[in-house]
Amino acid sequence: MITRGGIHWVDNIHWVDSGDTTPGDHRPAKRRPVLVIQADAFNASRLPTVVVVAITSNLARAGLPGNVLLPAAESGLPRDSVIAVTEAVTLNRYELEDPAAGRMPPHLMTQVDAGLGLALGLAPSAPAA
């Protein structure tokens, strides 16, 4: 079952490499983990798609605004990883391995929500100094 906060593996997904400067360059397709961010009301519907964000093992990306460090001990993944909130994508449900490999702990999902708000311009603006 696909639910918000679930961590699933996806085969042969192409993510745009945020470090690339050449148009059309992508990271190679391979098996990657993703985090389901779509609301459960939509996950329980007949929609054939689901919205996810990338999970990367590149720990240097933890310092980027909005990204969240995900310790392996709390995720079900084989290594520490980073939730890359600016790398959201819509996938077909059948592309996600089910059952989930793990779940985001609630305290980290709250951080992901804040990061998504920042990335999507939904977070409240900081007051002017």
Give me the number of domains the chain comprises: 1
Give pTM, 2 decimals. 0.86
Residue 1 lies in a domain: no
Residue 112 lies in a domain: yes
Residue 55 lies in a domain: yes
Mean pLDDT, rounded, of the chain: 89
Residue 12 predicted with pLDDT over 90: no
Residues 6+ apart with CB under 8 A from 24: none
What mean pLDDT do residues 80-98 have?
96
